[in-house]
Structure 1
């Protein structure tokens, strides 16, 4: 457990059994409160690769977080997937240390759960959670960064927990990227490129599509037409592109972050999130500081065909009233990041810096 500004971070409260590093897999990094943990089984079923999850667990929410994790591990069929793939990190406000943590210290472990009882996240409302009632800030970018700190693979995919990738994506992507690197085609700057998956809205009663053809059918049958990022024409062009085998390939390349809510990146090279920014949205371009930073650093955004993301539900941590950052604040943060990374790159030896652009 380590202190991080006004928070304590318990790294690897739960440590996955299987070790994954290098380019053997992709780590999905995400964040949540215990109220979001009901989304984990679906994510585990579809991802089946390492997941690094940061959970905000202050005051009495800490106990409910531990109970919810115990329920998922001991009572659901996905418990084995959790043991194999899931690492959990707890983030706690320093002024709201849980009583159990004070009493047990770091020897506190996840106890078995009586499965006849409902899980805490099934019988609670977000407005009744400890952090919500106390009007605490949800430190979204700290949580995102903590999840990334604990990723051990070369590639990561940073998503909010409400976003669901397609099944079998990890194996397909690793095969795809190896082929493209061997052929050295279309990816002129691999170290400053990210691989974007188009994101589509969802309705609660609609099934979760597993292939592109299924996605097209679901969108049509359930009249789901609201595009993420408002790129209606680009979204329709992507949907109309034929890909009967669902092979991964590059649909388009851009210097703008179009249709790029979720993406694969190189963990060690991509800038972290600005932790001063507590309400950064990955859906709203006007409030997406990270997107502005990547564009300012001349990143290339490669939109993939043959894979997609579904926004399974809305972000529960946004259910309380949050103050939107002013445009001037976003611009000020962006300028700080832009100057820092450009100065940082200028310190690299020229030969090494040139290698980053081949």
Structure 2
């Protein structure tokens, strides 16, 4: 039997395979090492760039490695996270350099709160000439230099002819706020009215130019001979060496008296009211001087919005009225007023003329109460019962009923119809505690006037037969309400 042949090539093949495997391992190792080396060299600049970028962003802020972002009134401090230097085998860590903080908005001011509560709308002082029933009206004929947004003040609205304009400066000195005044100026009373306005603006207190807006109206049957256009009324300053027309004027010599015209008091009241820029208004007479600082104190009370102010009923804010003797100084505080009431130099308004017209609920309690800081609601009254013919003067708004323009000053009862509407609409009368009005010094007493008595009788018939039936249709009826 022949012996099998043994091959010498087997060991060589095994050696060759092992050598090839080792070489391949070495190649792979070289590749892995190269990759790791490249990644390591690349990562460090990237991380450094991240660090530098973070620092640069932070430097744009306050210099304290923070970035500040302002959104309206709220300031946010945004945190900047800085990574530490990273070794290839280590995980990055974070270092918080700042936390988020919020600066709260400041609390709302009194005026901000008044605006929010009233939801009022601003109105510009736009001059215009329009017909109003039997009258031509020059609205905003001469405007005040200062204007107001609807929530910024309270406007004193009033009426007069030029013979009463000596009251404007003392009224302004106490009110220190916007005044809207409608002046009746028919025929030849018109140029005297313009001269009176010019004198007050150029020769008296700067408060006149600052705060007073003048409107002028006259009957369509008594149009002046010449009426300057808006904006060109006064072409040169008034000669202050001349006496103003309203000084020592005799009412009998006025055009109105010569033509035996009635004074259309409610036309003036409504014109002055409707043109007021502010939400709150005080419709009053030019001879009634207010206690100082009413505006600021009243708006502060409105902003508090507590107690009776939360009532859902419509509301107005009556002021107590008083008269003082002719030789007395008008009191500025309730404390002084109380002293004058005690010694008889001050009296409730029209006590000797028409005491029922201005009898105020809780009047004795009000007079006995001591003066306090600010202005508050002293008592909530109604126009019924004992006070069924009450004619209050109050701070109200543009939403309140207007005055009937068919009524005249000479015929009396010119505010009674508005009083009835307020009663039927269930108004609350929020009587103020430390605010009051004082008539120009001089106690009024009853004087027999046959012509005025005749006109008053005619007015009563007009109200009874025509106006009152209209009011019942328009406003309805309520038990205890009367004209």
Name the TM-score, length of structure 1 as normaliser. 0.84
Report the equivalent of 1:330.
Answer: 463
Report the equivalent of 2:382.
Answer: 255
Structure having greater relative contact order (Cα 8 Å, sep ≥ 6):
1
2:304 is equivalent to residue 304 of structure 1: no
CA shift digits 1:266-321 (9 cap, x unpaired) = 21x1011111122388xx77962211221121111111101111122689xx9994
C-alpha displacement of 1:236: 2.5
Name the CA distance, whole Å, in 2 between partners of 1:206 and 1:215.
11
CA contact 1:29–1:148 (8 Å) conserved in 2: yes
Report the equivalent of 1:63.
Answer: 191
Name the CA distance, whole Å, in 1 between partners of 2:281 and 2:414.
24
Report the equivalent of 1:35.
Answer: 163
1:1-358 equivalence runs, <5 A: 1-76=129-204, 78=205, 80-101=206-227, 104-106=228-230, 108-110=232-234, 111-179=236-304, 181=305, 183=306, 185-189=307-311, 192-228=314-350, 229-230=355-356, 231=359, 234-243=362-371, 245-256=372-383, 258=387, 261-267=392-398, 269-279=399-409, 288-312=416-440, 321-322=451-452, 323-324=455-456, 325-331=458-464, 332-341=466-475
CA contact 2:408–2:414 (8 Å) conserved in 1: no
Name the CA distance, whole Å, in 1 between partners of 2:207 and 2:421.
35
Name the CA distance, whole Å, in 1 between partners of 2:459 and 2:192.
35
From the superposition, tell whether residues 191 and 152 of structure 1 become closer, same or farther in structure 2 (CA, over 3 Å).
farther
C-alpha displacement of 1:8: 0.7
CA contact 2:182–2:215 (8 Å) conserved in 1: yes
Name the CA distance, whole Å, in 2 between partners of 1:326 and 1:69.
33
C-alpha displacement of 1:337: 2.9
Q: Secondary structure at the match of 2:431?
A: strand
C-alpha displacement of 1:7: 1.1
Q: Secondary structure at the match of 1:39?
A: helix
From the superposition, tell whether residues 211 and 162 of structure 1 become closer, same or farther in structure 2 (CA, over 3 Å).
same
CA shift digits 1:136-167 (9 cap, x unpaired) = 12111111111011012111110011111111
CA contact 1:162–1:313 (8 Å) conserved in 2: no
Q: Secondary structure at the match of 1:225?
A: strand
Name the CA distance, whole Å, in 2 between partners of 1:207 and 1:157.
23
Q: Secondary structure at the match of 1:310?
A: strand
From the superposition, tell whether residues 233 and 67 of structure 1 become closer, same or farther in structure 2 (CA, over 3 Å).
same
Name the CA distance, whole Å, in 1 between partners of 2:471 and 2:410.
15
Q: What is the number of residues matched between the two proteins?
A: 330
Instruction: Between 304-313 and 331-340, report the one with greater CA deviation.
Output: 331-340
Q: Secondary structure at the match of 1:213?
A: helix
From the superposition, tell whether residues 277 and 326 of structure 1 become closer, same or farther in structure 2 (CA, over 3 Å).
closer
Structure 2 segments unaligned to the other structure (5+ residues): 1-128, 478-483
C-alpha displacement of 1:326: 4.5
From the superposition, tell whether residues 302 and 15 of structure 1 become closer, same or farther in structure 2 (CA, over 3 Å).
same
Instruction: Between 43-52 and 211-220, report the one with greater CA deviation.
Output: 211-220
Name the TM-score, length of structure 2 as normaliser. 0.63
Structure 1 segments unaligned to the other structure (5+ residues): 344-358
C-alpha displacement of 1:232: 8.1
Q: Secondary structure at the match of 2:216?
A: strand
From the superposition, tell whether residues 287 and 53 of structure 1 become closer, same or farther in structure 2 (CA, over 3 Å).
closer
CA contact 1:27–1:155 (8 Å) conserved in 2: yes
Name the CA distance, whole Å, in 1 between partners of 2:241 and 2:182.
27
